[in-house]
Amino acid sequence: MIKEILAHPWFGTWVAALIAVPLALLAHRIGGLVLRRITRPAPAIHSMVLNCNAAARLVLPLIALLLVWQAAPDDLRFIGNVRHLNGLLLIGASTWLAVKAISGFADGVLAKHPSDVADNLQARRVLTQTRVLARTAMTVVLVAGGAMMLMTFPGARQVGASLLASAGVIGIVAGLAAKPVFSNLIAGLQIALAQPIRIDDVVVVEGEWGRVEEITGTFVVIKIWDERRLILPLTYFIEKPFQNWTRHSAQLLGAVFIYADYGMPLAPLREEVERIVKAAPEWDGRFFNLRVTDATERTMQVRVLCTAATSGLAFDLRCTVREGLIDFMQREYPQFLPKMRIESESSMHEKRQEPQQQPML
């Protein structure tokens, strides 16, 4: 029995494989410890090394096995199939390793720029660039890995050659079908580099106010203020106009409009605006004022400007100022609230006659 095993054509190859795999795992263990130690000063590289640990544990033994199969005699039974299978597994594992490396590097970059701070403009810029570029790179790696696996099959190469030979109409159809994919890919790169929008930006799109919740490889998710989600393709933000309230800063200038009768004195209104704004915790202390910005045949339009650190605080501050002014006028000057006056001809005649009446002696 032992002699038969020793005489088997695969015996030497299997022994080499049984030795190569533990050696590869040992190399993985030692190399991982060394890399983790030397990459600690670089958080992004260190995160990438940690993220690649599981994938590298599979890649190194497959490389060792591939060397063993390549060293085996070519006339060994099934050696061609074993080499092919090992090659497919190695390509798949290498693709997984590349994806994990990209993901780990992105996680390390994001860890250095936390976005949960008050002034997170730079962090949101890095977050958007990192996520979009990482997803684009991972997509390219997956497509390349799949293409390499297909190219190991002779039949797939023949199919590809025949498709290229008859690529007239098929090429046009494929180009038209792939246009949205490539358009979104290019738009994603433009958004990552030029950054018309970033994660957590406050935008007004299609008449809706919301925040950029997610940017994928094909679409953008906008979280509307009432917790609905608006899904838009990446190309929308390259081809169409929209409002970005946090492009360079989250600070905003809010406006409040109040309509009052012409008899309303402005000095008490200014004093009340100053009291309300300075008492409001939403005010950032930069600026406020009150001006009469319009006059109609019935009322005057009073505008109050006030600043806040973010769009959400600006909205709350505007509501506070509006409610405070209405309450003030209702309490102190109710007679000067906007109202419709309808006077009869007899009352108008009496008013014209009143100055001509003589005082009674």
* Type and span of the H or E element at 253: strand 252-260
Q: Residues 336, 347: contact at Cβ < 8 Å?
A: no
| Per-residue pLDDT at 246 | 83
For residue 231, list its beta bridge partners.
221
Among candidates 91, 110, 107, which has minimal Cα distance to 50?
A: 107
SS3 assignment, position 229: strand
Determine the Cα–Cα distance for residues 127 and 321; give it in Å rounded to an integer.
35
Q: Residues 188, 236: contact at Cβ < 8 Å?
A: no
Low-confidence ranges of the chain (pLDDT < 50): 160-161, 163-178, 348, 355-361
* Type and span of the H or E element at 284: strand 283-295
Determine the Cα–Cα distance for residues 86 and 63; give it in Å rounded to an integer.
9
Determine the Cα–Cα distance for residues 63 and 66; give it in Å rounded to an integer.
5
Determine the Cα–Cα distance for residues 279 and 24; give it in Å rounded to an integer.
69
Determine the Cα–Cα distance for residues 350 and 225; give it in Å rounded to an integer.
56
| Per-residue pLDDT at 181 | 61
SS3 assignment, position 116: coil
Tell me how far CA of residue 275 lies from CA of 111, 306, 350, in angstroms: 43, 12, 43
Q: At what angle do helices 121-151 and 154-165 cross, to 10 degrees?
A: 100
Determine the Cα–Cα distance for residues 90 and 61; give it in Å rounded to an integer.
9
| Per-residue pLDDT at 4 | 64
| Per-residue pLDDT at 360 | 38
Among candidates 240, 234, 132, which has minimal Cα distance to 182?
A: 234
| Per-residue pLDDT at 106 | 87
Determine the Cα–Cα distance for residues 118 and 23; give it in Å rounded to an integer.
51
